[in-house]
Amino acid sequence: MPQNTPLHLITVSYAPDAERCFRLCESIDRHNDPSSIQHLIVCPARDESLFSTLAAEHRTITTYQKLLPNGYKQLPWLKGWWLDPGFFPIRGWMMQQIVKMAAAAQSDSEVVVFVDSDIVCCKPFNATTFYPDQKIRLLTKTLTAEDKDHTLWQRLSERLLWITPQQKFPNYVGQLISWSPEVIKAMLARVEKNADKPWYKTLGRLLTVSEYTLYGNFAEHVYSGDIQHQREAHPISLDLWLAEDLKRLKNHSLTVTPNMVAVLVQSNLGLSLEQENVVLKHAFQALQNYHQID
C-alpha cells in the first residue's frame, strides 16, 4: 500500500452513539492529516441527519440501506430490530456486522480499518500501522477466562466456512481491526457457496456471530490468494470492555503497550459521556508512560 494512499476507515454507528461518534471524529482529525485518511460513517437512514454535519472532504456519510440490497427495513416499534427482504427479523447487533462486511467488500482500498464510535484516538496512525511489511495486521490474542462467547463464535465460523474444528484458536476480536476487501469478498463468496443462498441472508438469520472471528478463520485457514496477513498478539488500543477493566485502570494493573494509538470505553458500560470522559483522562494518563499525548 503506497504511503501516500489514504487509509480507509469505516465506522458503523447509530443514533444512541452519535455523540460518541462526534468525539471519535474530533480525535481522528486532531491527530491525523485529513489528506492521509478517508473515513466512511455508516448509519441507519433514519439517523442520517444526526451525522450529516460530520461530512467533509475526507469523511463520507452513507446508510445501511444504501450498502445493502433493497428491502431492509428498520422496525420503529421494536428497538434494535430489522426485517430483511424476506421479512425475517434481524437483531440490530447482527445488522451492524452485516453492514461492516458489506462496507468492506465494496471498498476499493487495499486495506480497511474498523473504528467503532466508542473509540477515542490519542496518537497519529497511518497505513504502516495496519499494513506493516505489506502484510495486513491480524489480531490474534490469547484467549482468557473472560472470553466466554468466543468458543461459540469459533464453532459457528468453522461451520459457515466448512473448515475442520480447531482445537486451539486465538481471540480475533478487538478494536481497530484491519481487513482486506479482496479477502472479505472471497470469504463472503465461500459462505454463499456453502449455504447456497446470499451471504447476508445466511448471517442475518443467526442470533450471533463474530465478523472478526469469521474473517480471522478465513484468512488463516482458507484464503490462498496473494494478500498476506501478519499475526499480532497485542491490541493496538487500550480496551475497557468491562467494569473490571475500569477498576484495573484505577489501580494501574492494566497492560499498556507502546503501540496503542487509541482508547475504547465500551458504550454498554452504562456510563454517561461525562463519566466516559473522566475515564478517558485516566486512560490517557496511563498511556503517557509510553508516548506523549497532545
Task: Retrieve residue 111's grid coordinates.
Answer: 486495506
pLDDT at 290: 53
Contact 119, 176 (CB under 8 A): yes
Sequence-separated (6 or more) residues with CB below 8 Å from residue 132: 230
pLDDT tens, the chain, 294 aa long: 555 678 999 999 999 999 999 999 999 999 999 999 999 999 999 999 999 999 999 999 999 999 999 999 999 877 789 999 999 999 999 999 999 999 999 999 999 999 999 999 999 999 899 998 899 999 999 988 777 789 999 999 999 999 999 999 999 999 999 999 999 999 999 999 999 999 999 999 999 999 999 999 999 999 999 999 999 999 999 999 888 999 988 888 888 888 899 999 998 888 999 999 999 998 998 887 654 444
Task: Retrieve residue 256's grid coordinates.
Answer: 499498556
Distance CA 75, CA 232 (A): 39
Please name the fold of domain 7-237: Spore Coat Polysaccharide Biosynthesis Protein SpsA; Chain A (3.90.550)
Q: Give Cα separations from 25 to 10, 137, 172, 216 (angstroms).
A: 11, 23, 25, 27
pLDDT at 294: 43
Task: Retrieve residue 183's grid coordinates.
Answer: 479477502
Distance CA 166, CA 254 (A): 30
Q: Where are the alpha helices (DSSP H) in 106-198?
A: 127-130, 150-161, 181-195
Distance CA 68, CA 64 (A): 6
